[in-house]
Every structure is written in C-alpha cells, then in structure tokens.
Structure 1
C-alpha cells in the first residue's frame, strides 16, 4: 500500500491562490472611478455580446474580470438575490454591502473547498449614493475577501500598474469626460511602460448616474455618445497644445523685437 502524498494546508492554499491569480491576470483590465455625478466603469472589451460590466439593481452595478462563465454565474446569482430581497422587504434594503457579503461567502467557500478548483475571477460591486461621499465600491478577490475602495480601483491584467497610475492622477469632482480620459489613459499603458491606442470599439463603458431621474441609475455609454466623449478629450488636448505653441511663438517674437 502506497503512502499518500502529504501537502500542508498552507501550501495547498498558496497553490490555489497562485492558480487563481494567474488566471485573473490573463484577462483584460477593468477600471472603476468616481466622478462628480456618479461612478464610471471602463473595460477593455471588444465584444458587444459578452459584457464585463452589468446592472444588478437600481443603484448597484457589477464589474468582473477572469473566466466569463464563472463571473456570469455570480452575476446571475446577484441579480436573483437583489430581486428577491427587494421584493420580500424593500428596494432600499438592497445594498452593495449586502451583495458584496453574499459574493464573499460564495467565493470563500469555493476557494477553501478541496473538491473543486477556485474561481478565476475578481469582482467589483459599486453603489451610487445621493452624494459622492455616499458612494460605495467593493473589490472582491478570488479568495472571498472584501476590500473597501475609494476614488478609483482596477482589476485584472496589470492592475497594480494601472492602480498606481490612477492613484497619482485621480481627484474628487472630476467631470465624466475627465474621468473617462483618465481611465482610457490608464488602460493604454502596457507592462513595458509603453502606450497603446484604444478606440471606442474596443471599450465597454457604463455609468451609475446619480443625476438620472429614473429609479435605475445604470446606463451604458455607447455609439455616438462615447465617440463624442473620446473626441472631446482629443479636442481639449489639441487646444491645450495649440495654446502653448502660440504662447511660445509670442515669447519668441517678443525676444526678437527686443
């Protein structure tokens, strides 16, 4: 009779965590930022059928990276939880905090179970409040822990590099166009320090708009509206460049006249 191979619990958990992290890192990144009128979601996603960002309930949205079939199951479960709780009690009883706790229990149970592999997913659950200080953003890694985020957060791909870039440049009170510009700039930076070009067709953009009169605050930014926002960024940059060039020419003219 052969002796079974022994692996310490610590090593087993470390191996499972490394397996999940590698799977998540292969996915394209998602960025979530607060702006003056709500919360912005930007994902690098050329597909128009397989969404990384989705609505869960009136003021709550969901973003994920990793294996699509796994986070899609979690999204469906979140929608069912929210609908049942809102119907049984009250719509105001459905909160991002409650949903994040449900996801944390599910992910934690799967991660600690030796009977199945851990989910290769990382989630963001966000809720827009009546004021910016009431906004809630929760990040849930593969092991079911909950991280309360503020301002900006990135998951998937080179999330550490993107998060560092966002932390240095994000500020309170940004407009939607400014927040979108910052999000796209962060996503275009690759691991080697270079930059790529991302077009509107390669982006999935959505917002939770606190100013929206409807009870449901989730809205996708598509087509012409997204193109106009991206073009306004380029126009603003061109105007700044033109203004600085004119100022330099004026200084050179003054020096020549002297």
Structure 2
C-alpha cells in the first residue's frame, strides 16, 4: 500500500529541508552605500564566487548549493543577453530577472521531490539611492523588495540584527564595508574576518557602462583600515561569465 503524505506536510518538509541546507552555508550581506550597492561574502575561495555580474547595472549574490544556483546564474545571464539583444539594454531590469527566477524556483519547489537549497539577491543600481533595486528570492520562489540591507545564509538572523544596529543610510564605502564585516562576524564572536577571507564587489553608479567591479584583497585591507576612502580605487573591474559560488 502506497505511503500517503498530505500536500501541506509535503510542502513543510521541503521547506525545512531547504532551510537547513541554506543555513549550513556562510553568509552574504548586501547593502546600499552612498555611491551604489555593496556585496560582501564570507568566502575564502578565489575560484568559486558567491557574487557575480549579470548585466550592465545588475549583480547576483547567492548562498546554498553551488551547482544549483550556478544553473540559475547562467540562466539569468542568458535571459539578460537575449532580451538586451532583441529589445534594448535598458529593458533588462532586476525586477524582470527576479520574476524569472521566482517562476523557476516556484516551479522547482512545487513540482519536484527536492527543492533547490538556494537563496538569492538580485540588485540593480540606479541613478541615485532612491532608484536602487534589491530583490531577495527564497527557495520557494518568494520575492521580497529590500531596502538598505539584506543578509542571507548561515546565521542570517544574527547577521541581520547586527546590520540593523550598525547600518547607516548613505554611508561611504569604507564605513559600509566595516559594518558588513562586523555583521558577518556576529555569527561567531571568536572569529575575525580578514581580507583574504572575504569576497567583496560593488555596483558603482559613478562608473560608465558596466558598473560591477570586484575589490582586491589589498583594496579590502585598505578600506577596512581607513576612516574614509575613494571607492574608485584598487579593484579589478571585471565580472566574467565563469563566476560561480560555493556553499561552504
């Protein structure tokens, strides 16, 4: 005789499974600063990235299983490239990309036995802070429009509380980075994150064309050790199509 599980229980079991998988990963923080949007990941890997460029003004951050959100990232790049080519580059928006991801994640969650163990942020930098867009997507396809900051993965509640206590709207890059690092360290009071343990990137509204750029370890050290720095210095300025992320 087949074993019966109610649809409600099945959905609950899937959600619990996905949440546990996501919580095992290291956290990622996304927050606004005076010249754009900052992405900071607790990620010592230099090959498997948690933060990636999607399009001119759009970036992607993720936690969870690498192979699963790498598929989503590649799908997002294809969506952006095709729509930008067929219509206009201005028609590619974070909101449109978030809707595509929401449909994919929702379908996977309801129609497959195993949900994706992923959580995503899709962000687009605008002409000013008021027009910045930050969307958080969970494993079941739910979308939240975030403002100011967002934390996901690991002990996200502790990180979010630390951000709430320390975040200041319109802060310069150096201050925003230190706030993000302190929030990530809130997961473990005995741990201190160094530049080599961090993956940091920005969407800088002051740049032209491609606004995404990564910060080097040396630049991260300079920012963490300074009271105020010029955010236009010391990055490699690239986001290549092979970037991914790990779940560690």
TM-score, normalization: structure 2? 0.90
1:1-258 correspondence runs (5 A)? 3-114=1-112, 116-190=113-187, 194-212=189-207, 214-232=208-226
1:191-222 CA distance string (max 9 Å, x none): 6xx2411111000000000011x211000011
For the residue of structure 1 that corresponds to 2:52, the secondary structure is: strand
Report which of the two structures shows the higher radius of gyration computed on alpha carbons: 1
How many residue pairs align between the two structures?
A: 228
Runs of 5+ unmatched residues, structure 1:
235-258
Runs of 5+ unmatched residues, structure 2:
229-248
For the residue of structure 2 that corresponds to 1:106, the secondary structure is: helix
Moved over 4 A (4+): none
TM-score, normalization: structure 1? 0.86
Change (3 A) 1:8 1:27: same
Cα contact 2:60–2:122 (8 A) shared by 1: yes
Whose helix proportion is higher, 1 or 2?
Answer: 1
Aligned partners of 1:160, 1:112: CA distance in 2, in Å? 26
Structure with more relative contact order (C-alpha pairs < 8 Å, separation 6 or more):
2
1:233, CA displacement in angstroms? 5.2
For the residue of structure 1 that corresponds to 2:226, the secondary structure is: helix
